[in-house]
Amino acid sequence: MDIRTKFVFSLVIVSLVSMVALGGALYWDTRQDLRTGWVDQLGGLAASTETAMEEIASGWEDRVRLIASRTRLREILAENNLEGSPEAKNQISRILTDAQRSVRAVESMAVYDALGNFVASARWATQSDMVPQLTELPSPADGVVYLGVLSPAHEELRVAYEAALTDDGTASGRLVGALQVRLNTGPLVRLAENRDGLGLSGQTRIAIRDNDGAVRVLSPSFPAGGMVWEEVGLGGPSDPLSYAMGEIEGRPEGNLLGADGETVWAAHRHLEDLDWGVVVQIKETEAVSYGNRFGLQLVDIILALGAFAILIGTILGLRFAKPIHELAKAAERIKEGDLSVRAPATSQDEVGLLARNFNQMADEMEQQVTLLKEFQNYFELSRDMLCIAGHDGFFKRVNPAFERVLGWSEEELLSRSFLEFVHPDDLEKTEDEIARLGQGLPSISFENRYMCQDGSVRRLSWTAHPELETGLIYAIARDVTDLFQERKDTQDRIEYLKDRLEKAEANLRWNP
């Protein structure tokens, strides 16, 4: 029987015997576990409500976009002098009225011309926020623009959107007017009325900041029933609405209080783009009562099955998990630096195969680490200047010989282009050599001068090999400043002796 089958049988036995008992025991251990479960559930409901609110807002935008796309509306605005054409205004009014009737969420609409002057509306006569002229027209490039939430006196909340109207219906067309649309908040009301998964005291509270800066919350209306938008003040760290509206960031640390002052368990979401918030909450007393009833039902079987499940689980765990435990222990020792340790590989099942493969990888790792240490020693202790550079003109790695010869620290060498260290008179030929390396041609005994940190100049002889696949250059440089000076002195001495010899031969010819 393979290890997988062993674990399947073991887990099935342990799960069947101890799952229910363990669930009850966890409740008695701490109420926080119960709170976490409720908060997770509330968080899921808050997340789904947030998604629904985003879909509602997206649907509103689509409806405004659909109305703005009506060809006849744009044609009338583009072709007529609206000031002198009452019939054109009437046509626009009829178009808006038809659109308003066909889209239930739309409460009212108004159209303005390219100068911002009011042209016509549908059901706007009952509204209090219509203006005769817009101070600013929307940009065609912005598409549908969310204007905010309006809460005029004695009227329900309305969500305002605006869209630019162009002659060809595209963002690049000529602006011929603007469409403003007011939508009712009925979809949000219906969303808040959904109480699935919230028990008797739970509720969904939707909060919106209106254009006057006031926060309005959708709440039940007592005793009339139904839902109403009420202006509220945010209550600080104990008020879940303060988190939902982004007034306080992070997770609540203390108890949260509902509108009636009772402690609640809650989850929140903030729709930053719209400045909307949602709180899903349930009273603490009701949430705890579910756990109490559940605990009473399980207490009898917890006592009977708890010890038996722990015993069986322990025996099976020790029997089947021992090879895995030894393998994990070997991995931990390798992690701590002991590369000589190996895992026992006595069994013939999957764990034994895993141990043998693990040991093979450990052998290869030990070899690679040894090679890496040898390379590191060679790199660090070499008297020659070893480096890895890129075609971008920067060193990627340098050995200590660079600082010993040039005086520049490793940080300075890596943070600046290596061309900045090249002697100005050698810069052009160095750039030509880098271009050759970029073509995949190696450099052998290429010499240039580098500026030292103390202002002196050192002559370096380079051997470099490019790697086109990675864009890296592997190079060795040797300081040949003294050798160059010795060659120069020797050459000068040869020239001097040669000149003396020629003069001596000339004297012998004239004075034999």
Q: Looking at the structure, tell me whether residues 391 and 348 fall in a common domain.
A: no
Choosing from 325, 351, 375, the residue where a domain stops is 375
Q: Degrees (nearest 5) of the Cα angle 243, 229, 53?
A: 60
Together in a domain, 244 and 119: yes
List residues bridging with 149 in a β-sheet: 159
Instruction: Tell me whether residue 25 is in a domain.
Output: yes
- Residues 315, 407 share a domain: no
For residue 179, give the H/E element and its range: strand 175-184
Tell me, yes or no, whether 507 lies in a domain.
no
Shared domain for 354 and 443, answered yes or no, is no
Q: Which domain holds residue 434?
A: 382-479
Q: List strand residue ranges (DSSP E) for 346-442, in order.
A: 385-390, 395-398
124's CB contacts (< 8 A; 6+ apart) are: 108, 109, 110, 130, 182
Q: Is residue 487 part of a domain?
A: no
Residues 126 and 267 in one domain: yes
| pLDDT value of residue 419 | 93
* Tokens of residue 233, six digits: 């003040």
Does some domain include residue 497? no
Element (H, E) at 327: helix 284-335
Task: Please report whether residue 501 resides in a domain.
Answer: no
Q: What are phi and psi of 329, to 5 degrees?
A: -65, -40
pLDDT at 447: 92
Which of 336, 366, 401 is the last residue before a domain boundary?
336
Do 290 and 154 have their domain in common? yes
Strand order from edge to edge, sheet including 203-209: 227-232, 215-220, 203-209, 276-283, 263-271, 256-257
Give every CB contact of residue 197 below 8 A, 6+ residues apart in sequence.
41, 45
Alpha carbon distance 57, 146 (integer Å): 9
pLDDT, tens digit only, all 512 positions of the chain = 544 455 445 555 655 555 555 555 555 554 566 667 777 888 888 899 899 989 988 998 988 888 888 888 888 888 876 666 788 888 888 888 888 888 778 888 899 988 888 888 888 755 566 788 888 889 998 889 998 888 876 667 889 999 999 988 888 888 988 999 988 888 888 888 887 877 788 888 899 988 888 898 987 776 656 788 888 888 888 888 889 888 888 888 778 888 888 888 888 899 988 899 998 888 888 877 766 665 555 556 655 655 565 555 555 555 656 666 676 677 777 777 776 677 666 666 666 666 677 777 777 777 777 777 777 778 888 888 999 999 889 999 999 999 999 999 999 999 999 999 999 999 999 999 999 998 999 999 899 999 999 999 999 999 999 999 999 999 999 999 888 777 777 777 777 777 777 777 777 777 66
3-state helix/strand/coil string of 91-145: HHHHHHHHHHHHCCCEEEEEEEECCCEEEEEECHHHCCCCCCECCCCCCHHHCEE
- 361 and 457 assigned to the same domain: no
Question: Which two tokens mark 24?
Answer: 């009850």
Q: Say yes or no: 137 and 87 in one domain.
A: yes
For residue 511, tell me if it sits in a domain.
no
* Strands 215-220 vs 227-232: parallel, antiparallel or unpaired: antiparallel
In whole angstroms, give the CA distance from residue 477 to residue 480.
9
Contacts of residue 170, defined as CB under 8 A and 6 or more positions apart, other chains included, come to 140
CA separation for the pair 216, 157 (Å, rounded): 9
What are the structure tokens assigned to 52, written together? Answer: 């629904």
Residue 215 belongs to a domain: yes
Same domain for 411 and 322: no
Q: What is the pLDDT of residue 380?
A: 81
Q: Do 87 and 94 contact (CB within 8 A), yes or no? A: no
Q: Residues 135, 231: one domain? A: yes
**CA-based nearest residue to 187, from 276, 68, 67:** 276
Question: What is the pLDDT at residue 72?
Answer: 85
Q: Are residues 425 and 457 located together in one domain of the fold?
A: yes
Residues in the chain: 512
Residues 259 and 362 grouped into a single domain: no
In the chain, how many domains are there?
3
